[in-house]
Structure 1
Amino acid sequence: MIVGLSNPKKKYHKTRHNVGSWYIYSLAKNYLSILKEEKKFFGFTGCLNIKSNFIRLLIPDIFMNINGFSVHRMASFYNISLNQILIVHDDLDLAPGIIKYKYSYGHSGHNGLRHIIKEFNTKVNFYRLRIGIGRPKNKNEISSFVLSIPDFKEMKLIKKSISYAIKENFTLLNLIQ
C-alpha cells in the first residue's frame, strides 16, 4: 500500500504539505490507474498491478493531523500492517528537489506521521518517501509555510523529484521484489 499524505479541500491541493498526494496522482497517471473517492476510507483510492504485484493507493481526504484514521481504516480492511506501507510526505529538512527513502520508526515532528503512529498503536519501523519542500527561515512560520504554494522554481524542483522517484521505482516495488 502506498499513501500520499495530504490535506483536503481544493485550497490545499497545491500547497507544500500535499506533495504526498502529488506523488500518488503522478504514480496513478503513470500506470493508468484511476483514483476514486471511497468514503469508508476517508479518501481517494486506486490500485496498481505492476510485475504481478497488486499495490493499493490512498490519498486521505481528511486533515493532515488526522490522516491516520484514513490510513489505519484502509490497512485494517485489507489486513495490511504498517511495515507494509510506504508513506509519502513532505519534509522540511530536505530542500525542494531532494527525496530520501527511509525505513524507521518515528515522525520527525510531522503531524500526519505522528497520527498514523498513534492510530496503529505500535512501535514498528515503516517505509517513508520524504519529499523535500525546504524550511522557512523563521521557525514560527512553519505552519503557514507548509500550507503555502511553492514558488515556480520550487514547484519545478519538487515535481522533477516526484517524476524521478516514480521513474526509479521508489515505491513498494523495491520492497516486494
Structure 2
Amino acid sequence: MSFITFDLGGIMELQPSIGVGAGDLQHAVRAETARILRETKGDALAQSKLLLGRIRDLDLITEAEVDSLYRLAEIEHEAAAERTDAGRAYLESRAIYNDLLARGGASPVALVLASSSVGSYTITGSPDRSGGVVFKKNTGAWESRGQKIGALVGANWGPAGAAIGGAIGGAVGAAVDGCLD
C-alpha cells in the first residue's frame, strides 16, 4: 500500500492512496462490532480477548503484549464494576504500562492501548480537602473496546494507523460511555 505525505507546517499527514471513503469504514466498523457482540454474547472481557487476538494475528503486538493488555482489560473490568478499589486498579495498570515502557521495544499499538487504559481513570483531590487523592474508573466498557476496534480498523494503514486508530477509538468509546451513563 502506498502513502501520500503532505507537509502541513510541521504536521505530517498520511493518507492511503486507496479509494475507501469514511462512510465505507463506518459501515465496516458497525458490521464488525455487531459480529463481535453476537459472537461474544455481550461479554466485554471475551470481546477484549478476541480483539487482542486479532490485533496479534496482524503482528501489531507480541504475545507478551497480549498478556499485558488483557490484564489491563481485566483490571478495568473489575474497577468499573466496583469489585476492586479504583486506586489499586490504577496503580496496577500504571505498573503494567511502566513495564511496557521500561522493557523497551514495545509496539506503538501496545503503548497506545496501555496508555489509554491508564488514562481512563480520573484522579482528583479528596472532596473533604484532607489532601488525599480519589481515584475513579469510568463505569462504561466501550472505551476499552473502542480502542481495540480502532486499532483493528487503523491497521489497514499499518502500525502507525493502528496506533492512531486505537487512540481515536478509545476517545470515541469514552464518549459513548459518557452518553450511556
The alignment's TM-score, normalised by the length of structure 1, stands at: 0.26
Larger Rg over CA atoms:
2
More helix by share: 2
More strand by share: 1
The alignment's TM-score, normalised by the length of structure 2, stands at: 0.26
Greater RCO structure (CA 8 Å; 6+ sep): 1
